[in-house]
Structure 1
Amino acid sequence: MIGQDLVGQRIKAVRRQRGFSQAQLAHPELSDSYVSLIESGKRTPTPAVLELLAQKLDCSLTYLVNGVTAEQMDEIELGLSYAQLALENGEVAEARTRYAELLGDSGLAGLPQLRQDAEYGLALATHACGDLDGAITLLNELRQHASAAMAPERHVSVAVILTRCYRERGDLTQAVQVAEGILGGAVRPIWSEGLIELGTALLAAYAERGDLLRAYQFGAELHAAAELVGTPRATVLALWAEAIVAAETGRLDDALALAERALAIYSENGEPRGVAGLRVDYAQIRLMARPFEAAACRDMLTRVETELQESSIGATFKMKCAYHLTRAELLLGRPERAREHIQSVLNMVGEMPKDLQTEAHLLASEAMARLGRSEEASGELTSVAELLERAPSNRQTAHAWLTAARVLERIDEPARSVDAYQRALACVGL
């Protein structure tokens, strides 16, 4: 039902509640036939006419236009603000509950833009909770039912998240199709920050499915596009995407150089929470490229950890910081200190996406194995196996099984180790 039909129905309902005829409502400013046309949805009243009718009916203009009172509108907008704040602060389960409650309120029926905001927020929160199937369903429904009313920027944002969801679920073909549906046409849209971000999601999908030549070529194109856009954020996104491809292809020194450039630019232009988060990701690449610099990485991450504790940044980045601190301490041969950090990770892991849960339990198993706590390491690996049983068969899952196999060897569980090796091979089709 279109908006003018709903407005007409509300005018008709309130008129009848007040005991007015159409002629009584119309007189003297309007004709009763004009009121009849408005109520039947055949005429769209001007703002001035709507304001006049609201005065005559002794109801709020907000109610006639949107189907809610001014007080209800304030409550809905406040609810959306609280849900968004919860999502930004990493309280993803709380955000998901709040968005779902808002969408269950009939008051949103006449507020298509706010309803779309709530549906998009619910999809983001569902993804952040690790429910990839649920997020994909919500995003596809949003694209299908709200497409006509969706701003171009929102179209791109939905495509970015949908591409990431498909990639994280292991459906790389779908991930590529979603992004290429916007970026790969005969006539490519004018580059923007949003399209650069979509390009980085596409680049990650190329790299993960092993299409490294295409990833390398597209990375260069993305870098050129970022220069055209000319904003610091676009440049940082493109540099980071190139760093990911370099790391995937084993060019760790190149990856580190690109990550350092991205961090330098963002440190000057980004907001503090984002800079702290990027430092955590930079530490990951630095530990891979230069494990002999683990002490410097640990010191940097310790400073970032303090910054994160004092900020409202999401729990995901706090967890990642503790995770990489654990890795640094293990590289420095300090498993006891690593155990303290990994406990922080495990305390936060419950609401995280499944891939992060897997990485956390894997690292915990390594720390426990090095401490000689074989029983605890075995328990962590049982959690890993349960998560990997439901994971997609891709290179990331294969690597996780391979890591698990090596830890199982270390704690002298040969049968489980062989099984883990076999599962790793199966994930890559061997």
Structure 2
Amino acid sequence: MTGQDLVGQRIKTMRRQRGLSQAQLAHPELSDSYVSLIESGKRTPTPAVLELLAQKLDCSLTYLINGVTTEQMREIELGLGYAKIAMENGEVVEARTRYAELLADEGLAGLPQLRQEAEYGLALASRACGDLDAAIALLIGLREREASEISPDRHIDIVTQLSICYREQGRLAQAVQVVEEILGGAVRPVWTDGLIRLGVQALAAYIERGDLLRARHFSAELVAAAERLDTPLARTLTHWQAAILASEIGSEDEATAHFEKAVAIQSEYGDPRRYARLRGDYAVIMSKLRPQEAESWRDLLVKVAKELEESSASSMDKMRCAMGLARAELLLGSPQKAELHIRSVLSMLDGMPEDLQADAHLVAGQIFAELGRTEETTRELAAAAGLLEPLPVTRYTSHSWLTAARILERIDETDRSVDAYQRALACAGL
């Protein structure tokens, strides 16, 4: 049923509730035939006519247009505001509950734009809670709406989030495909912040699936486009992802240069949470490229952890930072301090993506191996293996199995170590 049909039906329902005939409602300003056409959905009333009918029916104009009273509209908008605030504050479970409650309210049926906002918010909250299947289903549903219902900017946001979800599930082909449906033509669309964000997700998927040559070419294109666009968001995101790519191919100086550009831009223009996440990534990645400077990276991560707490960041951001601190303490030869951080990480695993959970168990295994606690090491590696086995084959899973093999070798679990090495090779296509 179209919006026009719904408006007509609401007018008809209110007229009958008031005990009026079509002629009585129409007189003297309108004809009864015109009212009949409106009620049957064959004519679209003008705003002036709708306002007149609302007065005659003694109801709100909001109700005739949307099917909700002014009070109900206020409550819905307030509910959306609270859900959005919860999401921004990292209270993702609370946000998901609020969005789901709003969508269960029949009042949203006649409010397509607000319903779309609630569905999109629920998708983001579901992803943040680790329920990628639910997030993908919602995003696909939104993407398949009529073009008239979805603005071009919102469509790009939806596809960006869909690509992220596919990548986090290890479905790298789909992560790339949904982006290339928009950006893969012979002629690129005019670059905007939204399209740059979309392109960055394709670049991340190229890196993760090991397509580094394609990633190099596309990264150069994105950085050049962002510099021409000259917006802080576009420049930050492209230099950030270019730094990650450079670190993957072992180009330490290039990674440093891109990170320093991104940090400089974000420090001046960005929001505190993104600035903290960027610097956290910087410290984690550079600690791998420059382990001899582990103390500096540890100190930076300590600052980032404090900033994340102050900015009400998500549990995932805090967890990644704590894992970075644990790794830094390992590099500094302080497994006891590393254990304090990894205990915090292990307490936050519920609802996190499986690859992130596996990574946490591997770091825990490394720490317990350093501490000579073989039983705990074995337990953490078993938990990591259970999470890794069903995951798709990617560079990440290959690296993770390699890490597990080395830890098992260290604790003299020779047979299991060989098996893990074989899994790492298989994931690498060898």
The residue type equivalent to 1:22 in the other structure is Q
* SS of aligned partner of 1:351: coil
Report how far residue 320 of structure 1 moved: 1.4
Quick one: distance in 1 between partners of 2:346 and 2:253?
31
Q: Do the aligned partners of residues 147 and 354 (structure 1) sit closer, same or farther apart at CA in structure 2, a change above 3 Å counting?
A: farther
**Who is 1:53 aligned against?**
53
* SS of aligned partner of 2:347: helix
**Who is 1:89 aligned against?**
89
Report how far residue 3 of structure 1 moved: 0.8
C-alpha contact (below 8 Å) 1:22/1:32 kept by paired residues: yes
Q: How do 1:35-114 residues align onto structure 2 when only pairs under 5 Å count?
A: 35-114=35-114
**Who is 1:26 aligned against?**
26
Q: Do the aligned partners of residues 363 and 146 (structure 1) sit closer, same or farther apart at CA in structure 2, a change above 3 Å counting?
A: farther
Quick one: distance in 2 between partners of 1:147 and 1:103?
21
* SS of aligned partner of 2:76: helix
Quick one: distance in 1 between partners of 2:417 and 2:100?
43
Report how far residue 326 of structure 1 moved: 0.7
**Who is 1:185 aligned against?**
185
Quick one: distance in 1 between partners of 2:240 and 2:310?
26
**Who is 1:368 aligned against?**
368
Q: Do the aligned partners of residues 391 and 245 (structure 1) sit closer, same or farther apart at CA in structure 2, a change above 3 Å counting?
A: same
Quick one: distance in 1 between partners of 2:304 and 2:146?
40
Quick one: distance in 1 between partners of 2:391 and 2:309?
31
**Who is 1:282 aligned against?**
282
State, as a whole percentage, how many aligned pairs show the same letter. Answer: 66
Quick one: distance in 1 between partners of 2:228 and 2:341?
42
The residue type equivalent to 1:97 in the other structure is T
Report how far residue 419 of structure 1 moved: 2.1
Structure 1 residues 309-318 or 358-367, which shifts more? 309-318
Quick one: distance in 1 between partners of 2:331 and 2:153?
43
Quick one: distance in 1 between partners of 2:79 and 2:295?
45
* SS of aligned partner of 2:349: helix
**Who is 2:115 aligned against?**
115
Report how far residue 156 of structure 1 moved: 0.8
Structure 1 residues 209-218 or 193-202, which shifts more? 209-218
Report how far residue 418 of structure 1 moved: 2.1
C-alpha contact (below 8 Å) 2:240/2:278 kept by paired residues: no
Report how far residue 166 of structure 1 moved: 1.8
Quick one: distance in 1 between partners of 2:65 and 2:92?
33
Quick one: distance in 1 between partners of 2:241 and 2:146?
30
Q: How do 1:202-213 residues align onto structure 2 when only pairs under 5 Å count?
A: 202-213=202-213
**Who is 1:136 aligned against?**
136
Quick one: distance in 2 between partners of 1:320 and 1:147?
38
Aligned: 1:356 with 2:356? yes
* SS of aligned partner of 1:145: coil
Aligned: 1:423 with 2:414? no
Quick one: distance in 1 between partners of 2:271 and 2:209?
33
Report how far residue 146 of structure 1 moved: 4.7
* SS of aligned partner of 1:135: helix
Tell me the number of residue pairs that the alignment of Structure 1 and Structure 2 aligns: 430
The residue type equivalent to 1:294 in the other structure is A
- What's the C-alpha RMSD, in Å, of the aligned pairs? 1.5
C-alpha contact (below 8 Å) 2:176/2:205 kept by paired residues: yes
Quick one: distance in 1 between partners of 2:427 and 2:135?
24
Report how far residue 79 of structure 1 moved: 1.7
Q: Deviations over 1:204-223 (max 9, x none)?
A: 11222222121111111111
Report how far residue 89 of structure 1 moved: 2.2
* SS of aligned partner of 1:226: helix
Q: Deviations over 1:160-218 (max 9, x none)?
A: 11112222222222222111111111332110001111111111112222221211111
Quick one: distance in 2 between partners of 1:399 and 1:51?
65
Structure-1-length-normalised TM-score: 0.96
Structure 1 residues 178-187 or 7-16, which shifts more? 178-187
Aligned: 1:391 with 2:391? yes
C-alpha contact (below 8 Å) 1:267/1:275 kept by paired residues: yes
The residue type equivalent to 2:279 in the other structure is R
Structure-2-length-normalised TM-score: 0.96
The residue type equivalent to 1:72 in the other structure is Q
Q: How do 1:196-207 residues align onto structure 2 when only pairs under 5 Å count?
A: 196-207=196-207
Quick one: distance in 2 between partners of 1:421 and 1:120?
42
Q: Deviations over 1:218-268 (max 9, x none)?
A: 111111110121111111111112112111212133112211111111101
Quick one: distance in 1 between partners of 2:291 and 2:24?
83
Aligned: 1:225 with 2:225? yes
C-alpha contact (below 8 Å) 1:37/1:43 kept by paired residues: yes
C-alpha contact (below 8 Å) 2:250/2:289 kept by paired residues: no
**Who is 1:345 aligned against?**
345
C-alpha contact (below 8 Å) 2:267/2:275 kept by paired residues: yes
Quick one: distance in 1 between partners of 2:28 and 2:41?
22
Q: How do 1:203-352 residues align onto structure 2 when only pairs under 5 Å count?
A: 203-352=203-352
The residue type equivalent to 2:421 in the other structure is Y
* SS of aligned partner of 1:210: coil
The residue type equivalent to 1:140 in the other structure is I
The residue type equivalent to 2:119 in the other structure is E
Quick one: distance in 2 between partners of 1:385 and 1:136?
26
Structure 1 residues 121-130 or 225-234, which shifts more? 121-130
Q: Which runs of 5+ in 2 are unaligned?
A: none
Q: Which runs of 5+ in 1 are unaligned?
A: none
Report how far residue 330 of structure 1 moved: 0.5
The residue type equivalent to 1:66 in the other structure is N
Q: Which runs of 4+ in 1 moved over 6 A?
A: none
The residue type equivalent to 1:412 in the other structure is D
**Who is 2:171 aligned against?**
171
